[in-house]
Chain A
Amino acid sequence: MSFVIEPLARAIEEFNKLPGIGPKSAQRLTYHLLRSSDEEAKALAEAILALKEKIRLCSVCFNITDRDPCLICQDKERDHTKICVVEKPSDILPLERTGKYKGVYHVLHGSISPAQGIGAEELKVKELLSRCQDKSVTEVIVATNPNVEGETTAMYLRRMIQPLGISVSRLARGLPFGAELEYADDVTLGQALDHRQEF
């Protein structure tokens, strides 16, 4: 006969649903919370609630945000004539960390994947095109991943945007910092040679 303590079992079950959390980790987390102070537990619960309640998509760039339009789109200091197109919201963070980009973004929420039946209709492509109708936009930087889906997306966007008289550029491909030439694949090495720079 087992004693099921309902609130405890429920918490364990919920933790168990998170990625990378197995039944044992879920138990450990639950008992940890039980031991921790009321404030700590409440803070966690409120953080989770706020996550779902406050966060939505920016109506301009479709990044996740707590206000609409998002901070980047509102920022008058930023260059609104350049739009950097990324696949997912988490791609913006590394680009921002470089500190080199001062334009605005557009999040597609995926990439065109013929093999999975994902076409341009399923992404925020139409919204990007309507942003490009604005005469002030001069450059679209396509920062999709350098794989088959990302390339398909990039080439598709180029076809759609270039006729509007906007220059379309693509992130360069080459050797990552800390790589070894010996192990570089032919595609990357070829691209790195093609786009070599004088220094």
Chain B
Amino acid sequence: MAAPRNYQTQAIVIKQSKFGEIDKILTIYTPELGKLRVVARGACRPGSKLGGNVEPLTYSQLMLARGRNLDIVTQSQTIDGFLTLKSDLWLLAYGLYILELVDSFTVENSANRPLFDLLLNALHWLSQADSNEVVLRYFELHLLHHLGYRPELYRCVKCNSPLKPVLNFFSSSQGGILCPNCGQKDFFSRSLSVDALKILRLWQNCDYATARRVKLRSELSSELEQVLQEYIGYLLQRELKSIAWLEELRKMSLDNHGGED
């Protein structure tokens, strides 16, 4: 049976690039079809009917028509524009980081419903009042889980012995924790504190409502960030571009603080 010429889907717009003078190519993430690249004709024109419905960080209902190469957006309706994210410098940076993670880890036309749900939830969590970087860490950990890179946190990935509450090691190349014995022999592993391991285990198994209640010291928070980003960097074999922007924002708020004192 031939595929229908038109179809509808929900989609989160994760990337947008200009195509010609007035068209845009969108990268969208959908629940049933996974990542897709589609054309939004005339989206750069002021007063375009697609306009604001196809900006990155927008959850929309789209009607698509099969094109010869890429499918074409014919109608769109915003379900959630995540305005709280778009009107805050930090939240916007977090949101874009999450989008880039999804874009980098996924391939086109491969559905992953749990990942779509996680992405949508993460954007909602970010929109909640007093959200913070815990959303990013929780998202990273569960993204890895849904993609099959769930880090092993209970047994040494080398000798399979149960881990003790001591300073252990994290190995990006082996995707999990090494016991002190194996860790010291592995040049590429990094140390991981007992507290960090506890938090990772908790986050891996709890829901977000529980995860967000954890209060982190800043050292512990940056340790967790480094471990996860190293692992992600190893898997992707490159650094995400939006991390540089987060760093720049951090530097700016430090500078501003310095100025006020």
Please list the residues of chain A having a beta carbon within 8 angstroms of any beta carbon in chain B: 112, 114-117, 119-121, 147-148, 151-152, 155-156, 159-160, 163, 176, 178-179, 183, 185-188, 190
Residue of B nearest to A185 (CB): B52
Question: Cβ of B259: which chain A residues have Cβ within 8 Å of it?
Answer: 163
Is the beta-carbon distance between A120 and B248 smaller than 8 angstroms?
yes
Residues of B within 8 A of A (CB): 15-16, 46-47, 49, 51-53, 55-57, 76, 78, 81, 83, 86-89, 92-93, 96-97, 99-100, 241-242, 244-246, 248, 252, 256, 259
> A18: shortest Cβ distance to chain B, in Å?
14
Most buried by B among A112, A116, A147, A186: A186
Q: Are A114 and B86 in contact (CB under 8 A)?
A: no
B96 near A114 with CB under 8 A, answer yes
Q: Report if A186-B47 is in contact (Cβ < 8 Å); known contacts: A114-B93, A115-B242, A148-B92.
A: no
Check if B241 sits within 8 Å of A114, measured CB to CB.
Answer: yes
User: What chain B residues lie within 8 Å of A117 (beta carbons)?
Assistant: 241-242, 244-245
Starting from the known contacts A119-B248, A156-B89, 4 additional A-B residue pairs (CB-CB under 8 Å) come to A115-B96, A152-B93, A185-B78, A188-B51
In Å, the complex CA distance between A179 and B92 comes to 28
A186 near B81 with CB under 8 A, answer yes
B241 and A115 form a contact (CB under 8 A): yes
Q: Report yes or no: B47 in contact with A187, Cβ–Cβ below 8 A.
A: no
Provide a sorted-by-A list of 19 A–B residue pairs whose CB atoms are within 8 angstroms.
Answer: A114-B96, A114-B241, A115-B15, A115-B99, A116-B241, A117-B245, A119-B245, A121-B248, A147-B55, A148-B86, A151-B87, A155-B88, A155-B92, A156-B252, A176-B47, A185-B78, A187-B81, A188-B52, A190-B83
B92→A151 contact, CB < 8 A? yes
Q: Tell me the bound Cα distance from A148 to B92 in angstroms.
A: 8
Task: Return chain A residues, CB-CB under 8 Å to B86.
Answer: 148, 151
Kindly state the separation between the CA atoms of A112 and B89 in the bound complex, as whole angstroms.
11
Known: A114-B97, A115-B96, A159-B89. A148 touches B78 (CB 8 A): no
Contacts of B88 in A (CB 8 A): 155
Residues of B within 8 A of A176 (CB): 46-47
Smallest CB separation, B173 vs chain A (Å):
26
A183 to B53, CA, bound (A): 10
Q: Are A114 and B52 in contact (CB under 8 A)?
A: no
CB distance from B40 to the nearest CB of A (A): 12
Q: A147-B55, A155-B89, A163-B256 are in contact. Are A187 and B78 (CB under 8 A)?
A: yes
User: Would A185 and B252 be within 8 Å (CB), given that A151-B86, A155-B92, A163-B259 are in contact?
Assistant: no
